[in-house]
């Protein structure tokens, strides 16, 4: 049975029950009502009025019952109208929802439903639009991810192809090509490893092993790892003194990885002769680690997207200088350990700061 007959029968049943209840109440309460008023009329008319008492009672009862029966067709018409209006709106909303869900199933994630009114149907349309928007963003991210991965792989693959052709033609000796081939293979391995880590971070499946360590220990490990790379680039890497008693509770390896990604990013964007400064300070009851560089800075319109996968402030920047997900990994790891990441930037450079729980 379709919606309109169901609604009509439901409305009609309610009306009939109400009329039946009203009729029953009238039959039970009317006799005393009749007698009271008839007695008043008899008292006014005199003894002759007693003969009219039965006719008066029958007339009043017949009149009341006739009025109730006359209301039945009107009630049926009202039930039909209200059921029709209600069913039309519900059926229209359900049909729009059905068409929208079919469009989503077919991959048309831009479909939206009109949000009219303030009832549950409008709320359902709003929730559908929110879901469609989320699916649309996921699809856009998926397409962008495939394109970016292909773009990132193109550089090392082109280099490997060139080396293989050079080896085949005898232009290059194996011992000359081997270091370059290993470098390109390491770049591809790093990209695959970073992409795997990003997927695990987004799925919340990163293994963490929290320990208590000093903030200065993390800075010392970073200086030891990046000292030579910064020296080769002609960029000064320096640290500010950190308190000896500032202890952190986090996964040391993951914290070191997050800091390393920020230092790698700073090295890529700081010109020779520039400076990168590491500092530690208390931030809102947590331990804050900051990486401040003297590069060109990040335009304000890019700051909100700087942590997205493969997002680059300068799309023309040479690929292969990193996996493109270093900042994404840094933010994901820090947040999984209970911290936050933020960035400020100006013409004199950028400052990335992340916090970790204080022990």
The reply to whether 229 and 351 lie within a common domain is: yes
Report how far residue 46's alpha carbon sits from residue 40's, in angstroms, rounded to the nearest whole number: 10
Residue 100, number of CB atoms within 10 A of its CB = 19
In a domain, 113, yes or no: no
Considering 173, 202, 231, which residue would you say is the last residue of a domain?
A: 202
The reply to whether 326 and 217 lie within a common domain is: yes
Strand 286-293 to strand 275-283: parallel, antiparallel, or no bridges (unpaired)? Answer: antiparallel
Residue 46: the pLDDT is: 62
Over residues 3-18, the pLDDT tens digits come to 567 666 777 777 777 7
Whether 354 contacts 339, CB under 8 Å? yes
Residue 352: the pLDDT is: 94
In the block, residue with structure tokens 């929730």: 127
The reply to whether 159 and 274 lie within a common domain is: no
Report how far residue 43's alpha carbon sits from residue 31's, in angstroms, rounded to the nearest whole number: 18
User: CA dihedral in degrees (263, 201, 305, 354; nearest 10)?
Assistant: -40
What does pLDDT average to over the chain? 81
For residues 132 and 319, the model is more confident at 132
Report how far residue 274's alpha carbon sits from residue 256's, in angstroms, rounded to the nearest whole number: 23
The reply to whether 162 and 235 lie within a common domain is: no
In a domain, 84, yes or no: yes
In a domain, 134, yes or no: yes
> Which string of DSSP letters, residue by residue, matches 168-236?
HHTSS-HHHHHHHHHHHHHHHHHHHHHHHHHHHHHTT------EEEEHHHHHHHHHHHHHHHHHHHT-E
Considering 86, 108, 130, which residue would you say is the last residue of a domain?
A: 108
The reply to whether 278 and 352 lie within a common domain is: yes
Considering 108, 142, 175, which residue would you say is the last residue of a domain?
A: 108
Over residues 185-213, the pLDDT tens digits come to 887 887 788 888 888 887 888 889 999 99
For residues 302 and 60, the model is more confident at 302
The tally of domains found in the chain comes to 3
In a domain, 116, yes or no: no
The reply to whether 162 and 252 lie within a common domain is: no
CA dihedral sign of residues 268, 249, 244, 353: positive
Over residues 157-174, the pLDDT tens digits come to 888 888 888 888 888 888
For residues 167 and 68, the model is more confident at 167
pLDDT at 91 over 90: no
In a domain, 347, yes or no: yes
| Class of residue 96 by CB neighbours under 10 A (exposed 0-12, middle 13-18, buried 19+) | middle
The reply to whether 279 and 347 lie within a common domain is: yes
pTM for the structure as a whole: 0.60
Q: What stretches of 242-285 adopt beta strand conformation (E)? A: 247-250, 275-283
Full residue range of the structural domain in which residue 78 is found: 3-108
For residues 316 and 91, the model is more confident at 91
In a domain, 114, yes or no: no
The reply to whether 291 and 325 lie within a common domain is: yes
pLDDT at 309 over 80: no
Residue 319: the pLDDT is: 45
Whether 338 contacts 208, CB under 8 Å? no
pLDDT at 316 over 60: no
pLDDT at 144 over 60: yes
The reply to whether 231 and 320 lie within a common domain is: yes
The reply to whether 264 and 197 lie within a common domain is: no
């Amino acid at each position: 049975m379709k919606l309109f007959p169901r609604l009509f029968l439901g409305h009609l049943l309610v009306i009939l029950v109400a009329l039946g209840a009203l009729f029953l109440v009238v039959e039970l309460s009317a006799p005393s009502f009749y007698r009271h008023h008839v007695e008043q009329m008899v008292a006014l008319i005199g003894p002759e009025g007693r003969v009219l008492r039965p006719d008066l009672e029958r007339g009043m009862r017949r009149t009341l019952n006739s009025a109730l029966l006359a209301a039945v067709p009107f009630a049926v018409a009202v039930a039909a109208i209200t059921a029709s209006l209600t069913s039309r709106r519900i059926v229209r909303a359900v049909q729009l929802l059905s068409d929208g869900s079919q469009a989503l199933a077919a991959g048309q994630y831009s479909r939206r439903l009109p949000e009219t009114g303030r009832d549950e149907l409008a709320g359902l349309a709003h929730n559908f639009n929110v879901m469609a928007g989320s699916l649309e963003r996921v699809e856009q991210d998926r397409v962008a991810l495939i394109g970016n991965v292909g773009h990132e792989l193109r550089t090392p693959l082109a280099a490997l192809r060139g080396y293989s052709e050079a080896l085949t033609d005898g232009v290059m000796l194996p011992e000359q090509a081997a270091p370059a081939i290993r470098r390109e293979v390491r770049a591809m391995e790093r990209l695959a490893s970073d992409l795997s880590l990003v997927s695990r971070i987004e799925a919340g499946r990163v293994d963490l092993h929290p320990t208590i360590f000093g903030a200065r220990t993390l800075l010392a490990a970073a200086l030891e790892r990046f000292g030579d790379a910064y020296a080769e680039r002609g960029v000064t890497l320096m640290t500010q003194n950190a308190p000896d008693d500032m202890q952190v509770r986090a996964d040391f390896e993951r914290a070191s990885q997050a800091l390393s990604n920020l230092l790698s990013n700073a090295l890529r964007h700081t010109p020779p002769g520039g400076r990168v400064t590491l500092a530690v300070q208390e931030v809102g009851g947590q331990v804050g680690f900051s990486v401040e560089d003297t590069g060109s800075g990040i335009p304000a319109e890019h700051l909100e997207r700087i942590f997205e996968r493969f997002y680059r402030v300068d799309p023309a920047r040479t690929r292969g200088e990193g996996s493109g997900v270093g900042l994404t990994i840094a933010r994901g790891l820090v947040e999984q350990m209970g911290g936050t990441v933020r960035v400020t930037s100006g013409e004199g450079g950028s400052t990335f700061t992340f916090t970790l729980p204080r022990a």
